[in-house]
Structure 1
Amino acid sequence: MDSLKWTLFLVYLNIHVIQTDSSPWTIKVPSSVKGLPGSCVVIPCSFNFPNPSGKTLTGFTGMWTDATNQIFYHPDKSKVMKQYQNRAELIGDVGQKNCSLKIDPLQQSDTGPFHFRIEIQNLDKYSYRENTVSITMMSELNPIHFSVKEEVVEGQTEFASCSVSHSCPSSPPVFTWNHSGEALFQEQQLENGQWKAKSNLTFHPTRADHNKPLQCTVRYKGGQEHETSKVLKVKYAPVNVRVEHESAVKEGETVQLTCSSDAHPPASSYEWYNETGAQLHQGNVFRLPNVSRHHSGTLYCTAINEVGRGNSSLVQLNVLYAPEIKAISFCSSEGDMVKCVCIVESRPPSMVHFVLSDRVLPSTKVEKHDSVTIGTLQAELGSSAFVLCLANNTQGNANVTLFLPVNNAPVNVRVEHESAVKEGETVQLTCSSDAHPPASSYEWYNETGARLHQGNVFRLPNVSRHHSGTLYCTAINEVGRGNSSLVQLNVLYAPEIKAISFCSSEGDMVKCVCIVESRPPSMVHFVLSDRVLPSTKVEKHDSVTIGTLQAELGSSAFVLCLANNTQGNANVTLFLPVNNAPVNVRVEHESALPVNSRMQSLYIIIAIGAGAILVILLTAVGVVKKCRGRSGEEPTSHMKTMQAEKDVELSQYAATKREL
């Protein structure tokens, strides 16, 4: 490294020498250089000489002398004055016209003036007495130039620099920093034998550096030191966030929590959060008047400045309140033993005792879960019908009477089920009750009292319309039985138009009766002579809907009955009757159709009417035959089915013809 520095320095000197053969005896040397005693000093020097013949010269001898011509430097050390021996060195190559001199170490007496003399074999010799150089001894060290930003940010990459001028390039000053980081050294040549040394520090400040000095120390050859520093201003996010509050507060009082932090710049805002992260308040003071038990829990404070955020540790807010014995506390018995469980909420946790048959007993078992204390008593029943639970803490006390259960038959028998189910699906009914002892079995009955199932769960897969109806559940224990209220099981299914639907006519009027079974009940319409007509009359009997149409006959020989509900639709063609003797008289019925007494009466009336018409027609036929027998004419009769004059197209129905 040193050899490279000297090479650059000598090149610098050489380019300032006039390289012509006719050059006179000239020299370039500063009149004065500054030096630090104990360090070294370099006198930069370059010269020139005349060479009329232009021949290549050898045998150069360069020397330095003082004002009295005493030799300060000579290649032959024996000719050098004793006080200068081993301290002066010609670092330039006189063959290249470089006469630079180094004095190391520099002494106070080395002030000069000095001049350079050159002797050239087979040419000439010359002393540059008019171009002397003096050395000024530095009584004070050169000032240090220090640079760093006014404010730095924690964690970021920051830079600082420290520089100083000196006169000893072979042994430049050594820089030391009091902060960790990466230091890069740089050097630059100045004028008059001076150099500039510089150290650039790359570092990462922390909050611990805030208001602490960043120091640069310069140590020169010879041992002298000089230092300078600047106080760092480090910006950092809030740390040491803390909450001041009372450790415990009574229910109904006011609690105040105060948040503070260490930060630069100071925190500009504060926020409060509960343990789930929900924001509760803004501001460094959080005041809760009339505090209640529901305020108990953990929370924390967040301090914020322009650099970032910092959180406090979780703070437990303890609200103190007297015991409250919960309604779910209970007693149960088995034989002569009683077991009571008393559940108490309080803060601090309560002591729980029991009074049984005038005896005060501690809890057999105690469990504590934060603000809840569960006291359990197991003891002989004695003659008492109740147990008294006592709870107390520093805030107060409470008591409640727990009655011992008596044996009773099941009550509050109830059935859970879906209100409606589609035909083909599965329905599940579940029965439960309140009883002591608990119900040991369950039974299911329909409305007629027929038993359907045993077990608290009644499951009906692939349910059908025939399952519709009412049922109930019976719960049974050793004391007795209890029944649920009647439950209506609704099975939903699409319309089915019954085969007993019919049409009749009187003159130009037609009367059609369309009987539909479905759940829920259906809407019933008719198509007559291409007209869609609503029912003239509608009767609904549970799952049966009877739609009646009365209208002019028109030109059609049939009527289309349409039925639809939420589960689907159906249609059937009802042919109008023709004038002929009754044939194929029949009665149709479906055992699955639930027909009540009113419907049965309707069917009987229809059958009687049809029978009467049949008798009248038979009588009329007999009269006609008799008359024709007298006239000698052969009787003829025929029946034919009337076809519809026009097809009625209804995209949502697939027509099914039925002759009645």
Structure 2
Amino acid sequence: MSGLQIISFIIIISSVLLQTHSADGDVYSAVLPHTVTALTDSCVLIPCTFNISTFEKKLQNKTLSGIYGIWLKKRHDFNNDKSSVVFNSSQNIIQGFRHIEMIGNLTERNCSTVFYNIMMNHSDPYYFRLEMKPNVFAATFTTQHGSIDSSKTVRINVIDSPQPPELIFSPDVSNPVMEGTAVNLICSAEAPCPKRPPTLSWTNIPKSANIITQLQEKPDKTHSVFSSMTFNASYMDHRMNISCTATYPRNISNNTTVNSTVMLQVLCKNLQKFCMSFLNNLCWY
């Protein structure tokens, strides 16, 4: 859809990785997701934080003229292979992407970055590098100095279609629930670009339903949209297929929709109501 801002689709499929190093008396580390999966024609937010043992002291260094973030693709060797640089905030370099934005404040140890207009050829490992100029600090947050280990950095995997939203229910509506039981259905979809999260919509909403939808930050600093629907089960809801649909706007191509469905099964409380509703094939007893 033209004119729309880009939305991200990202799934953290590995645990958050802590990378630690030591050089020139400094101990430094970065916390990054190990792997993210991104939707083509959208964007990817990579949550990123770092720590340097003497960071506060370095910020107070009178010779410090600036602090800059750099992202490298495939290779971590910054000095010998400048072709691997996809982003360098000190030189306003963006290479191989239409736009890259470092939204984190580096002085607050936040290196979170958004990569826009993701294409299939962007599937690769990426390395974060920090420079404090002139000659105050410079390091790429790799596993070991002088070696590359793609299993220890963030890797972007690009796909063409998003995963369906996840449905969580209480009680377990895969089994019959008693009429009058309070049922809670939660639909969630990944939303790593918080300004433009995917929209969630429900079909076959029970009459007593109350729906609350909100964006939430998860412990790994990525985001998801959660839509919670609460209602009291009625015999009129028996065999109703309730669906949750997630709609992902894309930059150029059409919106992408995916959905998940659950069938509600309701038990009647009394025989009289069962006999009446049985004729209409509405309720179990």
The normalised TM-score by structure 1 is: 0.30
Query: What does residue range 22-37 of structure 1 map to in structure 2 within 5 Å?
Result: 23-37=26-40
> How far apart are the structure 2 equivalents of 1:142 and 1:188?
19
Report the Cα offset of residue 62 of structure 1.
1.7
For residue 238 of structure 1, give the secondary structure of its aligned residue in structure 2. Answer: helix
Residues 111 and 205 of structure 1: is their aligned pair in 2 closer, same or farther, counting only changes over 3 Å?
A: same
* Counterpart residue number, 1:133: 154
> Counterpart of 2:138 in 1: which secondary structure?
strand
Partner of 1:230: 262
- 3-state SS in 1 of match to 2:107: helix
CA-to-partner distance for each residue in 1:219-266, whole Å, 9 max, x for gaps? 234332221112222345638959xxxxxxxxxxxxxxxxx9556346
The 2-side partners of 1:158 and 1:189 are apart by 24
Is the contact made by 2:36 and 2:157 (CA closer than 8 Å) also made in structure 1? yes
Kept in 2, the 8 Å contact 1:216–1:228? The answer is: yes
Number of the residue aligned with 2:7: none
Cross-structure match for 1:210:
238
Letter in 2 for 1:264: C
User: Which residue is 1:176 aligned to?
Assistant: 201
Q: Are 1:60 and 2:61 matched, yes or no?
A: no
Q: Is the 8 A contact 2:29 2:141 kept in 1?
A: no
Structure 2 counterpart of 1:352:
none
Q: 2:274·2:284 contact (CA, 8 Å) conserved in 1?
A: no
Q: Matches of residues 320-339 of structure 1 in structure 2 within 5 Å?
A: none
Q: 1:194 to 1:235 in 2, by over 3 A?
A: same
Q: State how far apart, in whole Å, the 2-side matches of 1:53 and 1:219 are.
A: 44
Q: What does residue range 351-430 of structure 1 map to in structure 2 within 5 Å?
A: none
In structure 2, the residue matched to 1:185 is 213
Q: CA RMSD in A?
A: 3.9
Shift of 1:90: 0.7
Q: Which whole-Å CA distance do the structure 1 matches of 2:108 and 2:232 have between them?
A: 49
Task: Check whether the contact 1:17–1:46 (CA below 8 A) recurs between aligned residues.
Answer: no
Deviation at 1:213, TM superposition (A): 0.6
- Give 1:153 shift: 5.0
Structure 2 residue 82 is matched with structure 1 residue 69: yes
The match for 2:106 is 94
Aligned partner of 1:226: which letter?
V
Q: Structure 1 190/136 Cα, relative in aligned 2: closer, same or farther at 3 Å?
A: farther
Q: Hey, what does 2:12 align to over in structure 1?
A: none
Percent of aligned pairs with the same amino acid? 22
- The higher-RCO structure (CA 8 Å, 6+ apart) is 2
Flag the 1:174–1:73 CA change in 2: closer, same or farther, 3 A. Answer: same
Shift of 1:177: 1.0
Distance, in Å, in 2 between the alignment partners of 1:235 and 1:35 is 42
Give the TM-score, by structure 2 length.
0.63
C-alpha contact 1:117 1:125 (8 A) present in aligned 2? no
**Are the equivalent residues in 1 in contact too, given 2:37–2:156 (CA < 8 A)?**
yes
Return the letter of the residue paired with 1:173: P
- Is 1:145–1:164's contact at 8 Å kept on the other side of the alignment? no
Distance between the aligned counterparts of 2:33 and 2:55, measured in 1?
28
Change (3 A) 1:112 1:221: same
What CA distance in whole angstroms lies between the structure 1 residues aligned with 2:179 and 2:185?
Answer: 15
* Cα deviation code 1:375-423 (max 9, x no counterpart): xxxxxxxxxxxxxxxxxxxxxxxxxxxxxxxxxxxxxxxxxxxxxxxxx
Task: Report the Cα offset of residue 128 of structure 1.
Answer: 0.6
By how many angstroms is 1:93 displaced? Answer: 1.0
Aligned partner letter, 2:102: L
Cα separation, partners in 2 of 1:48 and 1:152, compared to 1, 3 Å: closer
1:395 corresponds to: none
Q: Is the 8 A contact 1:146 1:229 kept in 2?
A: no
**Alignment partner, residue 219 of structure 1:** 247
1:622-642: CA deviation from partner (whole Å, max 9, x where unpaired): xxxxxxxxxxxxxxxxxxxxx
- Distance in structure 1 (CA, Å) of the matches to 2:273 and 2:56: 83
The count of aligned residue pairs is 230
Q: Structure 1: which 5+ runs fail to align?
A: 1-12, 243-259, 267-660
Find the aligned partners of 1:52 and 1:39 in 2 and give their Cα distance.
34
Which of the pair has more CA radius of gyration? 1
Deviations 1:7-46 (A, max 9, x none): xxxxxx9xx999xx95334433344322222333222222
Structure 1 residue 165, shift from structure 2 partner: 4.5
Taking the TM superposition and a 5 Å limit, the aligned residue runs for 1:505-516 are none
Tell me what 1:111 maps to.
123
Amino acid in structure 1 at the alignment position of 2:260: T
Take 2:263 and 2:56, find their aligned partners in 1: how far apart are those partners?
Answer: 67
Change (3 A) 1:29 1:232: closer
Which runs of structure 2 are paired with 1:125-524 in the superposition (5 Å)?
125-128=137-140, 130=142, 132-138=153-159, 141-143=162-164, 144-147=166-169, 148-149=172-173, 150-152=175-177, 157-165=182-190, 167-178=192-203, 179-180=205-206, 181-185=209-213, 187-189=216-218, 191=220, 195-222=223-250, 223-236=255-268, 238=273, 261-262=279-280, 264-265=283-284
Structure 1 residue 135 displacement after superposition: 0.6
Aligned with 1:228: secondary structure?
strand
Once the two structures are superposed, residues 79-129 of structure 1 have per-residue CA deviations (whole angstroms, 9 ceiling, x without a partner) of: 322x4243x111211112221211234222222332223221344342416
Superposed counterparts of 1:2-21, under 5 Å: none
Per the TM alignment, residue 206 of structure 1 is displaced from its structure 2 partner at its CA by 4.3
In structure 2, how many angstroms separate the alpha carbons of the residues matched to 1:229 and 1:54? 55
Write the distance in 2 (CA, Å) between the matches of 1:161 and 1:183.
Answer: 10
In structure 2, runs of 5+ residues without a counterpart are 1-15, 76-80, 144-152
Cα offset for 1:174? 2.4
Q: Kindly indicate whether the alpha-carbon contact (under 8 Å) linking 2:69 and 2:90 is maintained by their aligned counterparts in 1.
A: no
Partner amino acid, structure 2, of 1:174: T
Question: Helix, strand or coil: the match of 1:141?
Answer: coil
The alpha-carbon deviation at position 173 of structure 1 amounts to: 3.2
